[in-house]
């Protein structure tokens, strides 16, 4: 997995303005990705960021980069925790929920759409996506919006500006570990 992929897909999380980011990357072997994940965790953990390979499929890895403290806050929301309970999550703590998400990704035939909660999406938008089967949204940006459209558009703009800024800095030679903000 390249640093460019991290910047393009994870800049708002690295900046501390988004809970988590998810992206797929090519991998020649699970061992190669596991080594890269270990290296990134050594560098990013002091900044409050964790990296996990969630699933491997046909020489690709699904990577989750997130801030455990933000995830704990997000999943403690009553709406979010009630939604997770509908899908069999036992909310003891956010790390236990991540383990349950990994198990769902590896055992479910479909894609677990509650994953939006792990990325910092508003619970009403995650619920709307599930209930409407991804149709009838108000707008589309980083996610499909069913709730507060104006707030979502502002968030999309912040994420876009952050990604552009981070990519420009990275292109000038700033390392990912220097771009990652400790929060």
Q: What are phi and psi of 153, to 5 degrees?
A: -60, -40
Residue 34 inside a domain? The answer is yes
Residue 59 inside a domain? The answer is yes
Residue 114 inside a domain? The answer is no
- 60-66 β-sheet, strand order: 20-26, 60-66, 50-56
Mean pLDDT of 62-80: 96
Residue 48 inside a domain? The answer is yes
pLDDT at 138: 97
What's the domain count of the chain? 1
Mean pLDDT of 67-82: 95
- Is 44:51 a contact under the CB 8 Å cutoff? yes
| pLDDT tens digits, 133-145 | 999 999 999 999 9
- Domain containing 14: what range? 1-66
Residue 25 inside a domain? The answer is yes
Q: Is pLDDT of 152 > 90?
A: yes
- Is 118:101 a contact under the CB 8 Å cutoff? yes
Residue 13 inside a domain? The answer is yes
Paired residues of 64 in beta bridges: 22, 52
Residue 37 inside a domain? The answer is yes
pLDDT at 57: 86
Model confidence band, residue 175 (pLDDT cutoffs 50, 70, 90): very high
Residue 1 inside a domain? The answer is yes
Q: Is pLDDT of 91 > 80?
A: no
């Amino acid at each position: 997995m390249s640093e460019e992929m991290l910047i393009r897909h994870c800049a708002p999380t690295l900046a501390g303005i988004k809970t988590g980011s998810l992206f797929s990357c090519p991998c020649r072997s699970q061992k190669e990705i596991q080594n890269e994940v270990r290296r990134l965790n050594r560098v990013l953990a002091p900044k409050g960021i964790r990296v996990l390979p969630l699933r491997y499929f046909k020489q690709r890895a699904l990577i989750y980069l997130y801030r455990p403290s933000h995830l704990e806050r997000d999943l403690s929301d009553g709406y979010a925790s009630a939604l997770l309970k509908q899908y069999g999550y036992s909310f003891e703590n956010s790390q236990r929920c991540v383990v349950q998400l990994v198990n769902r990704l590896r055992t479910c035939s479909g894609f677990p759409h509650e994953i939006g909660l792990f990325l910092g999406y508003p619970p009403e938008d995650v619920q709307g996506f599930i209930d409407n089967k991804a149709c009838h949204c108000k707008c589309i940006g980083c996610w499909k919006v069913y709730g507060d459209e104006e707030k979502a558009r502002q968030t999309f703009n912040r994420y876009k500006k952050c990604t552009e800024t981070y990519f420009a800095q990275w292109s000038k030679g700033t390392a990912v570990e220097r771009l990652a903000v400790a929060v």
